[in-house]
Amino acid sequence: MWSYDDAVRLRDHINDVFVKASQEPNLEKRRFLLTFYVVGAGFTGVEMMGELAEYVPVLCDKFSIDPSDVTMVEVDAMPRTVMTLPEKLANKVQNRLEKMGVQIKLNAKVIKVTEDAIHLDINGNIEENPVHTVIWTTGIESTDITSRNQVQNLKQRQRGGRIETDQYLRAKGREDVYVIGDNTYFVLEGEERPLPQMVENAEQSGGLVAKNIAEQIRGGKNLTKIQTKDSMEQWYVSVDVGELQILNLEKLSLILYHSLQCLQNT
């Protein structure tokens, strides 16, 4: 799912599926129509599944469908959901999804998707599961510009076309080239993973780079650094506050949204 138009098409597809299911007398065929898989349990995946899990009861009521006929499965190759969050909060996310009726399949690699099935490799065991709708939310790729010859010559290109930067978000070895958004690959001091590819980091990187470019044009040398480890720790504290909300709020997507807003405003 890439754009607003994609989201509208997906919504219309889901509505159409429930219309068809409401008219299908065969139980097996009806349950097949109402089987949904979301591939990817990162931020986008769990928000997508959270929205779907909330929408399903509304549609079941509208079309007089037994909710037990609906199957929702979240799939990811990683050992837990939302790997960019602290484990404790990620576990809360998983628990909430499960309470909403979602099955979670972790350590599950998608090896093939056909018209009516999804094939998974779960710790070496191959599964073929019937499915009518597969929503793909994984595999972030940088913009096409990173594949151009001039960009390919930049040092330290990483997986997915990301370009390694210094603390000012300049491409390694090129002080005249800045990198922003999902293209950025930077590991904060004391961290093991690079900054996650999510909108909050993209927005922050855009503002930071604009400020640094203006500073360079003025002839100044006081460039602004990307967030330090100390501020990153504050991010995690903010997320832990959001974790308390997850016990009381019904909207998983709203919880994640407010948690991320806390991150952005810290």
Integer Cα distance of 72 and 70 in angstroms: 7
Grouping H, G, I as helix, E, B as strand and the rest as coil, residue 32 is: helix
Number of residues in the chain:
266
pLDDT at 258 over 70: no
What pLDDT is attached to residue 203? 83
Residue 29: both structure tokens together: 């065929």
pLDDT at 79 over 50: yes
Per-residue model confidence as pLDDT tens digits over 101-157: 999 999 999 999 999 999 999 999 999 999 999 999 886 655 556 555 445 555 455
Integer Cα distance of 254 and 251 in angstroms: 5
What pLDDT is attached to residue 69? 98
pLDDT at 241 over 80: no
Return the closest-CA partner of residue 53 out of 95, 22, 5, 99: 99
pLDDT at 176 over 90: no
What pLDDT is attached to residue 120? 97
Which amino acid is located at 248 in the chain? N
What pLDDT is attached to residue 201? 79
Which amino acid is located at 30 in the chain? R
What pLDDT is attached to residue 256? 55
> Is the entire prediction scored with pTM above 0.85?
no
Per-residue pLDDT, averaged over 192-206, amounts to 79
Return the closest-CA partner of residue 31 out of 21, 42, 39, 23: 21
In the chain, the domains with their CATH numbers are: 4-139 (3.50.50.60), 144-227 (3.50.50.60)
pLDDT at 243 over 50: no
